[in-house]
Structure formats: C-alpha cells, structure tokens
Amino acid sequence: MDTASGAQRPAFQHDATDGPSPGLRLSGSLDTAAVERSWGPLRDRVRLLAREAGGGTLPVDVTGLSYCDGAGAALLHALERDAAAGGVTLELVGATRMVEEQLAPYRELDAVTPARGEGRSDWRSRWMDAVGQVGRAGWEQMAFIGELGRALGAALRHPRQVRWGDTFRVAEVAGFRALPIVSLIAFLMGVILAFQSAIAMRQFGAEIFVADLVAVSLFRELGPLMMAILLAGRSGAAFAAEIGTMKVNEEVNALQTMALDPVRFLVVPKVLAGTLVAPLLALYANLIGLLGAALVLQGFGIPWVAFLNQVTGAVSLSDLFSGLFKAGVFGLLVASVGCLRGLQTGNGAAAVGSSTTSAVVTAIILIVVFDGLFAVLFYHLGV
C-alpha cells in the first residue's frame, strides 16, 4: 500500500524562479529518496544564491510540494541555516500546514539554549554576567516584597476580601498535618539534648540544671529554628512546586487575563497561613521537647515535679514570646520565598524542580541569617 502510494507521487524538482530577485521553486514529493538525490546540489545552489543576493530574503516557492516527510523537513531546515550563514533570510512561500508541522521540531531545537556555553568567555564577561544576574534577582525580590506588602496591607484594610477558605486549607496542610514529623523531631531533640547535657552535668552533681538548659534552649532558639527548617523543607517546597506547576501550565497567565492579581490570589493566603501556623508549631515543638527531656531526666533520678519547678523558674515570658516572634518571622520568610520561587518558575518540569530546590535552600539561608540578627538584636535590647 505504502509502496504503491509512494510510486504515484510526482517526482521532486527544483528550479530557479523568474523575476528580478533570485529564488527557487520546489515541487513534487520531497521524500527520503528525493532528499538523498538533492541534498548536496540543492544546498550548494542555496549558498550560491545567498552570496549573489548579498542580503535581504531568498524566496523559495514550496506551493508545488505535494508531500514532505521528516527527511524533507531536515533538508528545508538545512537550507534555512545555509541561507542564514550567507546573511540571507530564507522565506518559504506557500508553505502548507504539513510542511510547517514537519519543520517545527527543527526550529524549536535551534531555540533551545545549551546547558553549557558554546565557548569560554573572558573573566570580565563572566563577572559582568554574574553581577547582572545578582542585580536582576535583587530587583525581582524587591518588586515582590513591594507587591506582597501592598497585598497584605489591602488584606488588613479589607479582611473580607481575603480568601480565608484557602488560608485555612493551607494552614491545615502546613500546620496540622505537620504535627507527626514535628513531634518526632522535637521529641528526639529534647531526648538528645537532655541526655548529652546530663552526662556532662552528672560529673558535678548538677543534673537538675539540665531542665533549665533544655527549656531555655528550646524556647529561645531550638524550637523556632527546628520548626522553621521543617516548614521550609515541607511547606516552602510545596508552595514553590504548586505555584511553579501553575506557572508552567499557564494558569497564572490565565489569572492575569481575568484581571486577578496572582499575588493577592495565590500568595497572600499562603503567607498568612505560614505566619499564623509557625508560632503554634514552635510552641508545640517546645512542649514535646520538654516531654522528651523530662523522660530522660527520670532515668537520672529527677522527678516530674522537680523538672517542672526548674522549667517554670528558668523560663520567663520574654523567652517564650521572643521565640514565638522569631517563629512568626521565620514562617513569613519561608512562605514568601516559596511563593516567590514559584512565580519565578520557567518552562518545563525541570524548572519546577529547580524552583523547589531554590526555595528550600534560600529559605534555610535566610532563616540562619535572621536568627543571627535576632540574637544580636535581643542581646542589645536585653531580651
């Protein structure tokens, strides 16, 4: 059947067009056999015409093509590249949908940027490119902070315009469903911290003061920090992946087409949920950590009552609220970075993975930086 139909196709021909400007006319069936015969001669002819034209366009009339397969599309694409090398743009006149569909994969391949550059540039160019990327990233982050601040301000002025249904849904996923992993990590943290401290304190007969050490460490530092890192790895990555997938599927563009602000529609519920849930998770982690420490100190002969008395005497309200304040800021950072990286997602599945990785790494770095800033600030404030 295919052989018979192939025999009925008209033979491929190419000749020069009439007119003041040079050109070509292709007709017949541009199949594999025709490409094998015409590959070299036709490319040489296009190169010659490109040199004679010296610029502008080189028209190639393909109205007479009755058939074109993948090999024929490869030849047409090679002719386009030969013309471009000669400083001429090859124009396919009368190209049918069949020809365009066959050429599309070759043209898309030309548009792909290679993972590694074609050549090594000098250090000045690389330095300027790096500075430009840092500048663009800083500008995008500042613009996002401005848009987010404006959207949060509008949410505070008009609470009824906030999508509270999505906010509570995100809070449930980021908070309530994170309780098992937070419980496990916090309990183990309390156990390890109390056990290691008790071994050292036992040499001085001061095991009772392990309760003070564990309580202050958890409330001021380890509870918020541990919660923030878990939130970044769990919820921050989820925010980036969710918005990134919407960006790849052009759902974000659809929102803009419908005159809906993506920051107000997508980012504000997640940021509010992350900011509200983080202090609650930190408080829960503190309590579970104290429970683990109390169980360890039971083995060292410290009863529950003595442990609770030491904790209540060592921890003040400033320790509690400073840790909860840090947790709220960490939650804001994690949710904001996750949403920002999601909105910056490019095209393709690999871009979603890159955005997710960048969201987690950036959030953890910001958590550590802000934790150090809070340590210096609270020291100078006497908190």
Residue 320 and residue 261 in one domain? yes
pLDDT per position as a tens digit, 272-327: 999 999 999 999 999 999 999 999 998 888 889 998 998 988 888 888 999 999 99
Q: Is residue 2 included in any domain, yes or no?
A: no
Task: Indicate if 157 and 101 belong to the same structural domain.
Answer: no
CB atoms within 10 A of CB 349: 10
Six token digits for residue 366: 């910001």
User: What pLDDT, on a 0 to 100 scale, did the predictor assign at position 111?
Assistant: 64
31: in domain: yes
Give the torsion sign (CA, 140, 141, 144, 150): negative
Residue with tokens 């087409």: 257
> Containing domain of residue 71, as a range?
8-111
Q: Using one digit for the tens of pLDDT, what is the confidence trace for 330-341?
A: 999 999 999 999
Mean pLDDT for the chain? 85
Categorize the per-residue pLDDT at 181 as very low, low, confident or very high, splitting at 50, 70 and 90: very high
pLDDT of residue 19: 62
| pLDDT > 60? residue 114 | no
In Å, how far from its chain's centre is CA 287? 34
132 or 55, greater pLDDT? 132
Q: Examine the pLDDT at 24 and tell me if it is beyond 80.
A: yes
Rounded-to-integer distance, Cα 146 and Cα 151, Å: 9
Nearest to 231 by CA among 264, 279, 196, 266: 279
Q: Note the helical H segments in the chain.
A: 2-8, 32-53, 70-85, 97-111, 123-157, 164-174, 179-201, 210-217, 223-231, 237-248, 251-257, 262, 268-299, 304-314, 317-343, 349-381
Which pLDDT score is estimated for 110? Answer: 67
Query: Is 250 a domain residue?
Result: yes
Do 98 and 162 lie in one domain? The reply is no
Six-digit token string for 91: 């124009």
Last residue of a domain, one of 52, 82, 111: 111
Query: Which residues lie below 8 Å from residue 311, measured CB to CB, with a gap of 6+?
Result: 211, 212, 215, 290
pLDDT digits (tens, 9 = 90+) for 136-176: 877 877 888 888 888 888 888 888 888 888 889 999 998 88
Same domain, 364 and 227: yes
- 363 in a structural domain: yes
Beta strands 57-68; 24-30: pairing state? parallel
Q: What is the mean pLDDT of residues 227-255?
A: 89
CATH code at position 25: 3.30.750.24
Contacts of 198 (CB under 8 A, 6+ apart): 207, 210, 296, 297, 300
Does residue 32 register a pLDDT over 90?
A: no
Number of structural domains, the chain?
2
pLDDT of 1 higher than 60: no
Closest C-alpha to 92, from 71, 61, 66, 116: 61
DSSP character at residue 348: S
Verify that 250 and 367 share a domain, yes or no.
yes
Q: Are residues 35 and 180 in the same domain?
A: no
> Do 160 and 240 belong to one domain?
yes
Instruction: Tell which wins on pLDDT, 158 or 16.
Output: 158
Task: Enter the pTM of the model.
Answer: 0.66
- Token match 């994170």: residue? 178
Angle at 186 between CA 365 and CA 232, to 5 degrees: 30
* Residue ending a domain, choose from 111, 126, 144: 111
Question: Is pLDDT at 260 greater than 90 in this prediction?
Answer: no
CB 74 within 8 A of CB 35: yes
Whether residue 217 contacts residue 193, with contact meaning beta carbons closer than 8 Å, is answered with yes
Give the tens place of pLDDT for each residue, 341-381: 988 888 877 888 888 999 999 999 999 999 999 999 988 98
Q: Distance between CA 297 and CA 305 in Å, rounded?
A: 11
Contacts of 192 (CB under 8 A, 6+ apart): none
Tell me if 20 is assigned to some domain: yes
Residue 140 in 3-state DSSP? helix
Contacts of 111 (CB under 8 A, 6+ apart): none
311 and 240, same structural domain? Answer: yes
| 364 in a structural domain | yes
- Same domain assignment for residues 158 and 97: no
User: Are 272 and 172 in the same domain?
Assistant: yes
Q: In whole angstroms, give the CA distance from residue 277 to residue 22.
A: 71
Q: What is the pLDDT of residue 382?
A: 84
Q: Which of 54, 84, 111 is the last residue of a domain?
A: 111
Q: Is residue 195 part of a domain?
A: yes
Q: Are residues 61 and 206 in the same domain?
A: no
Measured CA to CA, the distance from residue 245 to residue 383 in angstroms comes to: 43
Query: Which among 3-7, 41-45, 84-88, 367-371 has the top mean pLDDT?
Result: 367-371
Q: Single out the residue of 270, 271, 265, 238 nearest to residue 251, CA to CA.
A: 265
Do the domain assignments include residue 163? Answer: yes
184 dihedral zone (left: phi>0; alpha: psi -120 to 50; beta): alpha
Give just the sign of the alpha carbon dihedral 46, 51, 52, 58. Answer: positive
Q: Domain check: are 228 and 167 in the same one?
A: yes
